[in-house]
Structure 1
């Protein structure tokens, strides 16, 4: 006599070791949970991958400063005042990588203590990154091809990033989680724009060659706007899910 399924028609699958019937209903939730966990890491992995080019460029710049590279007109301003660029590179790398893990919801829920500690450190890194970017914009000599339009963009978006991080921190101090999440996402999007800029500038270079003053400014400005548009979409999607 064979064991039958609840429908009474087909034999129940048996375990290869015990020969006892197995219950597929117990394996399905596990499979779904594993798939959901893997999907939850797609966004953090993509964000870290997007940061690869700027992180490599930053590492090269740090190597130049610490390795006694030849001083050229392009890098002379960094050798004259190395602290701002060093702080900017280190804080931006930490901000990009650690910030990516805040977009892994299962990891964040399972380790709330890590989320709080990392969040405080991200606030510090975001403020340092924004302030150092503003300092370099105001006091470093401009690179070739950097005009007034790009100068204005850098001041606007650098200030917007600083304001977003400060408002995000102030919101969580008031236990306003929704506003905290929204402002921190905006700040992270602006900070990550350097990664998008690397892609837009590279694409232009491959098609048209070195961009001029206005195209360079517009490409970089578009990168900030693209990231902020994606950030607003994420924020509104989250709000819609909560209110549904």
Structure 2
């Protein structure tokens, strides 16, 4: 597969990665609005339905619409669409990030989610909101390179749930059962870490290519 074809497949891969968290969110909203019974697993969502609904709506729009921002052809051919989508994505991304932080701080989390996983969630939500703010500030300064880098980091953090679902599935297949609290916290943290590592690699690769082209052009007569 050529690099060009691989880049074209990125939005499709991101949409596929969004399937599990989007479907899980839809099930949760149906549970909240459909009169499902309150259980120990869902009681905290019934106790605070507004923030969890906002979180699900923010994540759904942000993950699905955001995937198309990584289609280079669409950005080039329809820059107005790219800008309009960005105006939608920033507020929905902030809603997803900040509601996630609120749920971590103020909802009655189960005991296995306390400790390390709480730290990971607060760090990811705060870093996502900060990345969105920095990306917005960069484009207002017409700094396209930094805008793209910060927005890519924000999207990587927002897509953590998709990668986490893959990692948990691999663990279940390899061990024959779900992980305990500490391994689960590490796997969920690894989900955000993997996404950020991929994005940082892509950002640096793009910078190296741009610098190489600049020096290459400078050598021409």
Same fold by TM-score, threshold 0.5 exceeded? yes
How is 1:187-206 mapped onto 2 (pairs within 5 angstroms)?
187-206=154-173
Instruction: Indicate the SS of the match to 2:139.
Output: helix
Distance 1:210 1:38 in 2: 36
Q: Deviations over 1:85-130 (max 9, x none)?
A: 1111111011111111011101111111010010111111111110
Shift of 1:221: 0.8
SS of the aligned residue for 1:71 comes to coil
Tell me the TM-score normalised to structure 1 length. 0.83
One of 99, 118, 123 as aligned partner of 2:66: 99
What is the deviation of 1:240? 1.6
Q: Residue 54 of structure 1 aligns with which residue?
A: 21
What residue is the counterpart of 2:80 in the other structure? 113
Once the two structures are TM-superposed, the CA of residue 206 in structure 1 deviates from its matched residue by: 2.7
User: Partner of 1:155 in structure 2?
Assistant: 122
- Equivalent position of 2:197 in the other structure: 229
- Name 1:31's counterpart in structure 2: none
Tell me if structure 2 keeps the 8 A contact 1:145–1:213: yes
Is the partner of 2:136 in helix, strand or coil? helix
Structure 2 stretches lacking a partner, 5+ long:
213-221
Question: Quick one: distance in 2 between partners of 1:36 and 1:153?
Answer: 33
Instruction: Describe the superposition over 1:46-73 as per-residue Cα deviations: whole angstroms up to 9, x where unpaired.
Output: 1001111111111110110110111101
Match of 1:85 among 34, 39, 52: 52
* Residue 6 of structure 1: aligned partner: none
CA distance in 2, matches of 1:38, 1:220: 30
Give secondary structure in 2 for the equivalent of 1:70: coil
Q: Relative to 1, partners in 2 of residues 1:40 and 1:205: Cα closer, same or farther, differing over 3 Å?
A: closer
The answer to whether the 8 A contact 1:193-1:227 is kept is yes
Structure number with the higher helix fraction is: 2
- Unaligned residue ranges in structure 1 (runs of 5+): 1-34
Q: In the TM superposition, what are the counterparts of 1:1-244 in structure 2 within 5 Å? A: 40-208=7-175, 209-244=177-212
Q: Number of aligned residue pairs: give it.
A: 210
Taking the aligned partners of 1:56 and 1:237, their CA distance within structure 2 comes to: 33
CA displacement, residues 160-212 of structure 1 (integer Å, 9 cap, x when unaligned): 11100000000000001111010000000000011000111122123331211
Which is further off, 61-70 or 233-242? 233-242
Name 2:218's counterpart in structure 1.
none
